[in-house]
Amino acid sequence: AQTVTQSQPEMSVQEAETVTLSCTYDTSESDYYLFWYKQPPSRQMILVIRQEAYKQQNATENRFSVNFQKAAKSFSLKISDSQLGDAAMYFCAYRRYNAGNMLTFGGGTRLMVKP
Amino acid sequence: ETGVTQTPRHLVMGMTNKKSLKCEQHLGHNAMYWYKQSAKKPLELMFVYSLEERVENNSVPSRFSPECPNSSHLFLHLHTLQPEDSALYLCASSQEPRVTTEAFFGQGTRLTVV
């Protein structure tokens, strides 16, 4: 079975600064997907960024980028130029390649942004 | 309406009650999911309906019963729940079997069992 671990229950960052959220996972498979989801106080999970395991290039989406280390089974999220609206719970998630969207989630990291 | 809509947003029920959670998706997807988000555990997949097949997490108690009458609607029927079932229940949908698809989530139903 796959497991996803987020070792930082809470993080804080100053507005306009950069913060990195950590995620490690365990799997015996070679093909899979990794995701970062954001959950603001509205409770709706919103996809931030996705990484395909077969791609060596790290995914980027505007101010969000990942550091994907497949051998180390590490998948961290970097948020640049942090904004007040980035404050939320962030969840790392794993999905097998051909298993629909049956996601395995980490425990989450609460990100606080200080003005 | 767009996206994934869940009703009610909040629900308080006694342990002897029977209630149902509703989820509706307006995205034309063919797969729907129930996830449980409790305070002390990571989000946990409960049930999946995909391509008219049902997949369930074997650890989910039988007091939770899903129903998917069509690809746009998903229900979670609740009966004789326990206080530890209090949680946020999230519904999601996706288009399968596209490997590049992502799951879209609703805003959840906050359930409190008293």
Tens digits of residue pLDDT in A4-40: 999 999 999 999 999 999 999 999 999 999 999 999 9
Closest alpha carbon within chain A to B109: A43
CA atoms within 13 Å, Cβ hemisphere of A68: 23
Backbone angles phi, psi at A85, to 5 degrees: -70, -5
CA angle A26, A95, B6 (to 5 degrees): 130
| A81 CA: distance to closest CA in chain B (Å) | 26
| DSSP per residue, A61-100 | ETTEEEEEETTTTEEEEEE-S--GGG-EEEEEEEEETTST
In this predicted model, which residue has the larger pLDDT, B21 or B97?
A: B21
Nearest to A105 among B31, B43, B101 (CB): B43
B13 band by pLDDT with thresholds 50, 70 and 90: very high
Tens digits of residue pLDDT in A59-95: 999 999 999 999 999 999 999 999 999 999 999 999 9
Say how far apart CA B32 and CA B34 lie, in whole Å.
Answer: 7
With contact defined as beta carbons under 8 Å apart, do A53 and A32 qualify?
A: yes
Residue B1 clears pLDDT 60, i.e. is over it: no
Q: Do B107 and A47 touch (CB under 8 A)?
A: no
Nearest to B107 among A4, A44, A91 (CB): A44
Closest of B103, B73, B110 to residue B88, by C-alpha:
B110
